[in-house]
Amino acid sequence: MTGGEVAGILVAVFWAILVSFLAVVLVRLAQTLRATTRLVAEVTERAVPLLTDASATVRSAQTQLDRVDAIATDVQEVTSNASALSTTVASTFGGPLVKVAAFGYGVRRAMSRKGDEAPPPRRRSEPRTVVVSRTVPAARGGRGRWGRKG
């Protein structure tokens, strides 16, 4: 055997190994492509109903949001009406009711003092407050209005 024949045999063996390796790779690639095709087909079959359900859910949610929006608008209108009514009632009855309550309090206070004796004399240490054209009520005991004992 000559050197050229040995080289030819080596090249043929390496070529056969290379072709065998490429055949194995192509067979595995074909299997992978078949599996991928099946997977895509299954995903498509399952995705279409899911997308249909999702679309129906979104439509239903939109309908519910429209209803909630209408309810919120009605609640806002009712709130503004209640606020206006409250303001009207307060301005109409507030002043007279306060005056009637104050008058009733004054009458009760006067009736309770009618049977009492004269108020006790003031101590010299207490400062006197003089208000022109008004009567200042006596201290109620404990701490007075300005924090002094009396």
- Confidence at residue 115, expressed as pLDDT on a 0 to 100 scale: 62
Q: How far apart are the first and last CA of the chain?
A: 137
pLDDT tens column, 107-131: 988 888 876 655 555 566 666 665 5
- Confidence at residue 101, expressed as pLDDT on a 0 to 100 scale: 86
**To the nearest whole number, what is the mean pLDDT of the chain?**
83
Percent of the chain with pLDDT over 90: 49
Helix (H, G, I), strand (E, B) or coil at 36: helix
pLDDT tens column, 25-69: 999 999 999 999 999 999 989 998 899 999 999 999 999 999 999
Q: Are 148 and 142 in contact (CB under 8 A)?
A: no
Q: Which residues of 20-43 are buried (b: 16+ CB within 10 A; e: fewer)?
A: eeeeeeeeeeeeeeeeeeeeeeee
